[in-house]
Amino acid sequence: MKAETLLQEIQSVMPPVQKPVGIDICFHKDGCFECEALRREIQKFGGKELPTEGIREIHQDMSSLSAKGWRWALPSYLEFSLSEDASVRNTETEFLIYNLAPAPEHQAETKERLSELNREQIVCLLHFLEWCLNHEHWGQYCQEDIKAGIAFLSTISA
Residue 82 to residue 79: CA distance in whole angstroms: 5
β-partners of residue 26 are 65
Q: What is the pLDDT of residue 96?
A: 96
Distances (CA, A) of 125 to 66, 97, 104, 147: 17, 10, 19, 13
Answer positive or negative: Cα dihedral of 22, 26, 31, 32.
negative
22 has a pLDDT exceeding 90? no
Residue 72 to residue 66: CA distance in whole angstroms: 10
Q: What is the pLDDT of residue 31?
A: 81
Helix/strand number for the chain, H first, E second = 10, 0
Q: What mean pLDDT do residues 15-44 have?
A: 90
157 has a pLDDT exceeding 90? no
Sequence-ordered list of residues with C-beta below 8 angstroms from that of 29, at least 6 positions apart, any chain: 23, 35
Q: What is the pLDDT of residue 127?
A: 97
Separation of CA 117 from chain center = 11
pLDDT, tens digit, 9 for 90 and up, residues 53-109: 999 999 999 999 999 999 999 999 999 999 876 765 678 999 999 999 999 999 999
Domain that holds residue 134: 3-157
Q: What is the pLDDT of residue 30?
A: 76
Domain count, the chain: 1
Other beta carbons within 10 angstroms of residue 66's beta carbon come to 21
